């Protein structure tokens, strides 16, 4: 039997480093970010969403880069 591959917990819950749709910079785990759920913008962070990461698919923005009021 092959041994289970060792996966860092952070790598398992965050499959890729999300980048901001405006500036293209990586959004840090604890940085405030904006994303849109059902056309409603929400402010959150990757750290806050670790258990709900599928919600963070789609465009993400730094809070400071959010282009809308
Ligand atoms: Zn940005």
Cα→Cα distances 8→1, 5, 45, 66, Å = 21, 10, 20, 31
Residue 15's pLDDT is 47
d(CA 9, CA 28): 16
CA of 53 to the centre of ligand 1 (A): 19
Say what the alpha-carbon torsion angle 25, 30, 33, 36 is, to the nearest 10 degrees.
120
pTM of the entire predicted model: 0.67
Determine the distance separating the centroid of ligand 1 and the alpha carbon of 10, expressed in angstroms.
22
The confidence score (pLDDT) of residue 48 equals 84
- In the reported structure, the alpha carbon of residue 21 is separated from the centroid of ligand 1 by a whole-number distance in angstroms of 7
Tens digits of per-residue pLDDT, 33-63? 999 888 889 899 988 877 666 567 788 999 9
How far, in Å, is the centroid of ligand 1 from the Cα of 1? Answer: 45
Tell me the per-residue pLDDT of 10-39, one tens digit each, with 9 for 90 and over.
544 444 678 999 999 999 989 999 998 888
Residue 63 CA to ligand 1 center (angstroms) comes to 7
């Amino acid at each position: 039997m092959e041994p289970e591959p060792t996966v860092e917990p952070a790598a398992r819950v965050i499959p890729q480093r999300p980048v901001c749709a405006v500036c293209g910079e990586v959004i840090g785990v604890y940085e405030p970010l904006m994303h849109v759920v059902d056309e409603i913008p929400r402010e959150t962070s990757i750290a806050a969403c670790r258990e709900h990461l599928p919600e963070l698919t789609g465009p993400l923005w730094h809070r400071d880069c959010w282009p809308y009021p």
